[in-house]
Every structure is written in C-alpha cells, then in structure tokens.
C-alpha cells in the first residue's frame, strides 16, 4: 500500500511540476519572441566561446559561394537570425558578460549593414515572386528582431552603454525596412505588407502596443508626405488595443494592471520628449520655428493631461490612445527643430538654433565637435560712428554703399595670387647672375628684371 501511495505522490508531483513549467513558459513566450519564431534553434556556440570563429568561418564560406542577388540577401537575413539568437541567449545564460554581448551586438550590426547593401544590389521589384517572398521574410524577421531588442533593453537598464548600442541597432534595422518602399514597391503596398505580416505573427498580450512603437520608429524614417500611410495603420492598432483593454475590465484584471504599467512607461516617454522640446526651444530657435513648435507642444501637453486623467478614471484604452497622440505630436515638434537629415556621424543636428541681436547676423563658421553646423552672431556694420569691432575671422569693409555707421563685417578671404602668363622673364640676381624664369611671378623679389640675359654681365659694385 505504501508503495502505491509513493508512486501516486510522485505522479502528482510530476504533473504539478510540468504544469508549473508550462505556465511559466506561456507567460514568458507571450511577450518574448522564441528562437523557433525566427527560424533558429537555441544557439550553443556563442561569442563568449573561443571557438566561435568556426561559426563565423562557416558564414563567410557560404557568402563566398552564393552569387544570386536575392539568395545573397536571404543568406544575410538567415545569418542575422542566428546572430540575434546569440545575443538573446547570451543575455539569458551570461547576462553580466558585457564584453561578449557587445561583441555579438557588433557582429549583428555589421551584418545588418551587409544586408542593406545586398538589398541595394537587387535589380528586380516586388513584382518578382522571389523578391516578394524575400521582402515578406525581411519584414517579418525585422519586426521580430525589434521585439527581441525591446525586451533586451528592459533588462539592460543598469548598463546604459549596451542599451544605447541596442538602440542604435534598432535604428539600423529601421533603415533596412524602409528600403522596401524606397526601392521595391509603393508606400501603400508597403503598408499592406506590414499589416499582413503583423496579423500572421503570434498573438501576444501587448502585440498592438509593441507594433505601434515599431511603426512610430519607422514613421520617422519615411518622407513626411508618406507618413500618413503608417499613421493609418497605427490608428488601427491603437483601436484594437483599446478594444482589448476594454474587454479586460471584465475578464482579465491581471492584464489590465500590466497594461496600466505599460501606459505609465509611455507617459514617462511623452514627458521626456516634451522636456526635450522645451530645452531646445530655450536655445533661441528662430521665431517662425518657435511659433509652430509651441503650438505642437501645447497639443502634446493636452494629450498627455488627457492620458493621465483617463488613466486615473481607469479608462485604460482611452489613456493609451491619448498618450500615443502626445508622443506623436511631441516628435513632430522635435522634427520642426531638428534638421531632417543626419550628418555623416549619424547624429541628428539642430537647425540654426541662434537668434542674434538687432544689427547682427547669424553666420555659419564651420562645424562643431559633433560634426554639426556651427553658427555665431556677427555685427552687420562696423567702424564709423558705431565703432563696432568685427570678429577675428572678419574684416571691416568700407564703401559708399554702406550706411553712415561705416563699413560691413565680411569674411576674411584668402589673398589672391597674381595672375601670371607663361612668358619667359629674364632677371639678374644681386650677384650679377642672369637667369630666364618661366613666368614673371617666379622672379625672386631681390632680382632685377631685364629685357634679356647678355653673355657678359657687369660685375656688381660691391665686388
């Protein structure tokens, strides 16, 4: 009897253990992207292993023997899946090994750039079935990679350097995805491709919320007149999430609380964006830009206040919609201040954030230590009654066309070289040596020009 009781107890324990594991797995997979979803197995040979170079050799050999442009891009996409799996696994088994995670991130970053180049080399459009299939894989895997990196960032709060590297990688992925409408198809078809890919991905608690964040990042990379395509898709996702949240009020209190926490994070992001815009406004942005930015800023603050109020009233769906509007409006304000293009170092440069006093002009003086254009105020007029001194690299140029204040501060110019024609120029040195020079400009200052060199030169008087 005791034997049967023991066996029964063990069976109950096993069932409980399996149930606990499955429950934990379901909770984790709900938001985490699994290795299987990106077409890989759990990687065993990681960048913290001294033999990892063997895997890199294998990748390089495959690259060397793949010639078709579409196949080459598909290979890089497959390698990027393996590399993102390595980053994910390293964070799971060796989270404190910052060096190894950093190396894995660098490998992935290099591969994303290689993938971008491979896409550039493809001549066909999405009308080609092979290219269309490749673009579906690219969109699907890129969105999953972004989700993996979003989850990683939350685990790297204590390592801002590594977190920043992950954010830079995400920006690179965005650059790859927007290559699709730039090169292969129109923006409407691109939007439908993203919608189809999102619908096919596994259901997750915060799927729509994460999708909105991804679309928001992509939207910043698109031309301004094409952003409305993704804006419409974002609104669809927001509406779906609002409906889901409203259902949770009656059926799922745990997910409702979790969604409130997510919205609080978004509220924090909106506050940071608004503060950033306000700081840039304090740097003497031009009047026209400042007026437009202030209007957007007030709208963002109104949306943020509405989000907080809705959250206080437990209207989570409405709060989500309002906070996303606040973030979107604040980002538009930020774009108004910042130049649309990055410089070659990848840094977004501010516009001419300088306002000069009356009688002064903003003049570009070069670049600052970030590689962004640098400006300073210079006086319009100098000398005369005003007696204003020009900056060091400017000179006061006088002239009848300038007002009574005197002259005008103008940029110093390089001294002009005299124009010399190719004419033989004979000249005599102080020692009495006569020599023919190719042009008059080549005659030394202490030599005396002559009509021609004679055979006999007079002896200098000092000899």
**Mean pLDDT by groups of 10 residues along the chain of 463 residues:** 45 39 34 85 91 93 92 94 93 88 90 91 90 92 89 82 85 88 88 88 76 79 78 83 75 76 84 85 66 85 89 81 83 70 46 54 58 61 54 64 54 60 82 84 83 58 39
Order across the sheet with 425-428: list the strands: 434-437, 425-428, 448-449
Is the distance from CB of 326 to CB of 300 less than 8 angstroms? yes
Report the pLDDT value the prediction gives residue 383, as an integer from 0 to 100.
Answer: 56
Is the distance from CB of 48 to CB of 97 less than 8 angstroms? yes
Q: How far apart, in whole angstroms, are the C-alpha atoms of residue 218 and residue 238? A: 16
Is the distance from CB of 119 to CB of 139 less than 8 angstroms? no
Q: Is 400 helix (H, G, I), strand (E, B) or coil?
A: coil
- Tokens at 95, concatenated: 């989270």
Would you state the torsion angle of the CA atoms of residues 336, 339, 342, 346, taken in this order, to the nearest 10 degrees?
-70
Report the pLDDT value the prediction gives residue 187, as an integer from 0 to 100.
Answer: 85
Report the pLDDT value the prediction gives residue 10, as an integer from 0 to 100.
Answer: 44
Sign of CA dihedral 102, 273, 210, 253: positive
Report the pLDDT value the prediction gives residue 9, as an integer from 0 to 100.
Answer: 46
Report the pLDDT value the prediction gives residue 445, as an integer from 0 to 100.
Answer: 79
């Amino acid at each position: 009897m005791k034997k049967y009781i023991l066996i029964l107890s063990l069976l109950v324990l096993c069932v409980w253990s399996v149930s606990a594991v499955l429950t934990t797995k379901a909770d984790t997979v709900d938001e985490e992207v699994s290795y299987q979803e990106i077409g890989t197995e759990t990687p065993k040979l990681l960048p913290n292993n001294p033999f990892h170079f063997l895997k890199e050799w294998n990748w390089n050999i495959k690259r060397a023997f793949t010639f078709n442009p579409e196949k080459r891009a598909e290979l890089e996409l497959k390698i990027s899946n393996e590399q993102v799996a390595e980053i994910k696994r390293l964070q799971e088994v060796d989270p404190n090994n910052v060096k190894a995670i950093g190396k894995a991130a660098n490998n992935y970053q290099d591969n994303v750039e290689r993938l971008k180049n491979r896409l550039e080399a493809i001549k066909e459009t999405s009308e080609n079935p092979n290219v269309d299939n490749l673009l579906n894989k690219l969109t699907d895997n890129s969105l999953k990679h972004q989700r993996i990196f979003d989850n990683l960032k939350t685990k790297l709060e204590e390592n801002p350097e590594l977190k920043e590297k992950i954010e830079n990688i995400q920006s690179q992925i965005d650059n790859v995805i927007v290559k699709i409408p730039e090169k292969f198809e129109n923006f409407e078809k691109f939007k439908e491709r993203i919608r189809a890919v999102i619908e096919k991905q596994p259901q997750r608690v915060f799927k729509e919320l994460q999708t909105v964040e991804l679309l928001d990042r992509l939207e910043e990379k698109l031309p301004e007149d094409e952003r409305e395509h993704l804006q419409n898709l974002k609104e669809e996702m927001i509406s779906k999430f609002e409906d889901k949240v409203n259902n949770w009020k009656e059926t799922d209190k745990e997910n409702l609380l979790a969604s409130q926490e997510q919205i609080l994070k978004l509220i924090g992001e909106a506050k940071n964006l608004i503060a950033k815009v306000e700081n840039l406004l304090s740097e003497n942005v031009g009047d026209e830009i400042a007026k437009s930015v202030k209007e957007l800023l007030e709208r963002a603050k109104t949306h943020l206040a509405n989000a907080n109020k809705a959250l206080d009233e437990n209207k989570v769906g409405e709060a989500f919609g309002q906070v996303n509007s606040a973030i979107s409006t604040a980002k538009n304000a930020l774009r108004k201040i910042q130049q649309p293009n990055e410089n070659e170092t990848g840094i977004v440069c501010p516009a001419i954030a300088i306002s000069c006093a009356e009688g002064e002009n903003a003049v570009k003086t070069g670049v600052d230590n970030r590689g962004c254009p640098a400006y300073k105020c210079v006086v319009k007029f100098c000398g005369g009654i005003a007696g204003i001194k020009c900056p060091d690299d400017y000179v006061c140029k006088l002239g009848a066309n300038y007002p009574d204040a005197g002259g005008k501060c103008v940029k110093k110019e390089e001294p002009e070289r005299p124009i010399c024609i190719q004419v033989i120029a004979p000249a005599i040195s102080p020692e009495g040596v006569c020599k023919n020079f190719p042009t008059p400009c080549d005659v030394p200052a202490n030599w005396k020009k002559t009509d021609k060199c004679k055979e006999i030169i007079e002896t200098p008087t000092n000899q």
